Structure 1
Amino acid sequence: MQSRRKLRFRLVLSFALFGFGLSVLFAVASLYVRAKVEDQLVVSSLQQDADSYAQQMHESPGQPFYSKLMTGWGWSDRTIYKAPLAWQNLSSGVHDVYETDADGHLRHYKLAVSRRFGLIAFVRYDVSRDDLGKRQLFTALITVVLLLSMLSLAIGLWLSRKVLKPVTQLAQRIRDFRKAGKAEPLAQHFADDEVGELAHVLDEYAARLTAMVERDREFNSDVSHELRTPLAVISSTTELLQDSPDLTDKLRERLKRIERASRQATELIEALLLLSRAERRGPTRGETTEVAKVAADVIESQRPQVRGKPLEIELAALEPVSVNAPASVLSVALTNLIGNAIKYTLEGTVRVEVGGGRIEVIDTGPGIKPEDAERLFQRGVRGEGAGGSGAGLGLAIVRRLCELYGWDVSMRPRTDANGAIASIVFG
């Protein structure tokens, strides 16, 4: 979230960068044009004066050269040794030279040289003042760039506040609705523009979402009533039948299986309703649920799966562990984990250990691949191996229940032998 820039910040930054870039471009163009024009004028003037002075020395020797801006000298090929040493070998054209004046200051000159008629004419122009003008212009342009950039930033801030004000108001109204727990129409509070269109779309989405939530609430209520009632009838009927004195042991065992299945179905319905409502509910009257007791009940309910297998189920309660959750929720989670261990283990043991704030189901089955450990909790993914039938929903339900209560469920292969370890760490 922190890496994503706010829309207002992007607008302000874009406007400021645009103003800064435009100002810099203007400043660079101004400097370039001034330097180009000035250089052309100075070079052209100097060269013309140098050529004119050479022509004057040829036609009227001894006549002095006059210029308000420039100073000229002339020598012949024989007297060129009188010229400054740095000038003597310069070719015709305009050169940049740097010399120290009488006050000891370094000055910049443009020196035009013309070699004609056996004569060498020099015309020097002091450009130090022009350099100062360039520096002053550069300073002025930098100031203008900064001022324009600040102005662009200020305008960007003002425009962003102006443009995004309706969006901010829309977000604030949505936050108010969330606090109040009731959505009201949004479009009527905004103009008929893009933000108004967005508010209208949000109104339509809220209406559809409200209708869907209402249908889901009604469905949950219907399921809770229509499924629990027949299950309660089945449970009470099996209890009454078990009290009959003329029941055979085989029939009594079947009635117990029916009673356990009815109880598991009731617990599963309660857990699924909690998931559908995203409702985290603790035990009644602030009681806690003993993990070892629920695990023992689940093991007993799963023993019919062990018939015909050389398989033993062990429960090791190393230390007491209690959770603030209904027994039905924990029972559904453990039924899936322990039931899977029994289903996939053809022989050996399934050991359930309780302690250290966790419960672990350790089996001696075919095991799992490390890369498949997390994938098994995805909806519709089934395990490989013996008894791999089913819709692949059990572990997905376990993961959702654990996330609802802040528990950490995981599976991993055993390192000491074949098999897998499923564990729930209670937060």
Structure 2
Amino acid sequence: MNFRSSIKSRIIIGFLAFSTLLTTVFAISSITIRQSLQTDLIAQTIQEDLDAYMLRVSGNPQVISEEPVSNNVVGIITTPDNFHLDLPLHYADLDEGTHVLQEDSKTYIVAVNKRHQVDDQPVWGYIKYDISHMGQNNQPLLMAFALMFLVFLLLAYLLAIYVSKKALKPLSKLAAKLENLSNDIHIEPLAPHFHEDEVGQIAKALDAYAQKLTDYVIRDKEFNADVSHELRTPLTVIRSTVELIKSNPKITTKELDRINRIERAAKQSSELTETLLLLAREERKEHPGHERTQPGLIIRSILEGFEPTLKLKPVKTKITENDWLQVKAPESVVSVVLSNLIGNAIKYTTEGTVHIILNKDHIIVEDEGIGVNESELPKLFDRHYRVGKSNSKGSGLGLAIVKRLCDLYNWDIEIKRNNTTGLSAKLTFR
């Protein structure tokens, strides 16, 4: 399973992402608030120092020469007339209060007081406090936040694993019960093993779906049994009646030929019915012991059934037995497979020869028919696919049935274009 697509991985990634976001927001917010509070505190302190000093100056001008403005900062007392001698001119535009200024790659907090007078002349007071060093003080804090981030990330990971195990435990239990289901038609319900939560709802839905499939399988098996019984009875009657008619010594050769055709058709119908029932049940039936089916005899019987068709067009058949081939499979199954392959070869050959070659472990059926394009070859075994649909008759199920029977008995079937215009079908037995 792909780690990124699993629910457990999504829970872990979600916890880690949330922890990362929360820690980052907390760190940024803490540093920002700390910086703001520190700046406000310094501004308030130097403003209070300046206000107290200016109050003393207004009462006693001698204070200017006797006391510094502040012990911690640079303080300047000036007048509007002498301002240009003490401070840069842009300081004159500062309003009373505190300001943050950038000068020479340094940051200052400047407190301004312009509300006092000495000898009826305005006196302005300024205090500058360098706060550039405050950025350096943030480095230990950043290291602390980095360490805290790693700790939070580890805790989030451990918590995510714990939560995912708890959260996914019902799903794992459901998956285990599904894997251990038997092939029995009547399976044990899943819902009673789970609580009335989301997993319980899934279990109920699976139970309902399983019940529908069970009903369908039961109906299908009953239908197959009914079809098997109902079709075998009239076919048995037809075959017994044919045997009775053939025993009549007065029957003519022409009538005997027609009776034989009826007998072959009934036999083919019985074989087809038995084979289709095997496919419906997906049941592989084999001869007991060492009994074998001889495809050579079946092929000759199949060709006898196609004699009326072969008389209507210039098509011949040729059987070449390079080896004596035997197959461990029911005669009905081998007959259905070969009937479809030979029937298609005769059907699509308007003139020429259909070659049937028997080797030690495989049979090749070659025709000189119209053939197909290379792109159509993979589609020949698809249900309802017909070559040249506008001119072709049939349901397109013959080769699909052949493929299913070959899969059931682990045979290999391959159809390819031959050296002529037709096709070559190779059936390999295992």
Match of 2:226 in 1: 222
Select which of 393, 396, 417 maps to 2:397: 393
Q: Which has the larger radius of gyration?
A: 2
Select which of 402, 418, 422 maps to 2:425: 422
Give, in whole Å, the separation in 1 of the partners of 2:291 and 2:202: 48
1:6 and 2:9 matched: no
| Counterpart secondary structure, 1:127 | helix
**Which amino acid is the alignment partner of residue 215 of structure 1?**
R
Output aligned runs, 1:13-412, within 5 Å. Answer: 13-31=13-31, 94=102, 127=133, 131=136, 133-178=137-182, 182-319=186-323, 322-355=326-359, 357-384=361-388, 388-412=392-416
| Counterpart secondary structure, 1:374 | helix
**Which amino acid is the alignment partner of residue 314 of structure 2?**
P
TM-score after normalising by structure 1:
0.74
Match of 1:55 in 2: none
Matched positions, count = 390
Give, in whole Å, the separation in 2 of the partners of 1:35 and 1:387: 88
Over 3 Å counting, the alpha-carbon distance change for 1:382 and 1:319 in structure 2 is same
Give, in whole Å, the separation in 1 of the partners of 2:295 and 2:41: 97
Q: In the TM superposition, what is the alpha-carbon distance from 1:269 to its structure 2 partner?
A: 0.8
Over 3 Å counting, the alpha-carbon distance change for 1:41 and 1:4 in structure 2 is closer
- Report Cα offsets for 1:239-298 as digits up to 9, x if no partner: 343343332222222122112111111111111111111122222325444444444443
Q: How well do the aligned residues superpose, as a CA RMSD in angstroms?
A: 4.3
Give, in whole Å, the separation in 2 of the partners of 1:309 and 1:338: 16
| Counterpart secondary structure, 1:412 | strand
Q: In the TM superposition, what is the alpha-carbon distance from 1:67 to its structure 2 partner?
A: 6.2
| Counterpart secondary structure, 1:378 | coil
- Report Cα offsets for 1:65-122 as digits up to 9, x if no partner: 9865x899xxxxxxxxxxxxxxxxxxxx74687xxxxxxxxxxx8799xxxxxxxxx9
TM-score after normalising by structure 2:
0.73
**Which amino acid is the alignment partner of residue 389 of structure 1?**
K
Match of 1:100 in 2: none
Give, in whole Å, the separation in 2 of the partners of 1:313 and 1:135: 96
**Which amino acid is the alignment partner of residue 417 of structure 1?**
T
Aligned identity (percent) is 38
Match of 1:85 in 2: none
- Tell me if structure 1 keeps the 8 A contact 2:3–2:9: no
Over 3 Å counting, the alpha-carbon distance change for 1:281 and 1:413 in structure 2 is same
State which drifts further: 147-156 or 315-324: 315-324
State which drifts further: 206-215 or 383-392: 383-392
- Tell me if structure 2 keeps the 8 A contact 1:344–1:387: no
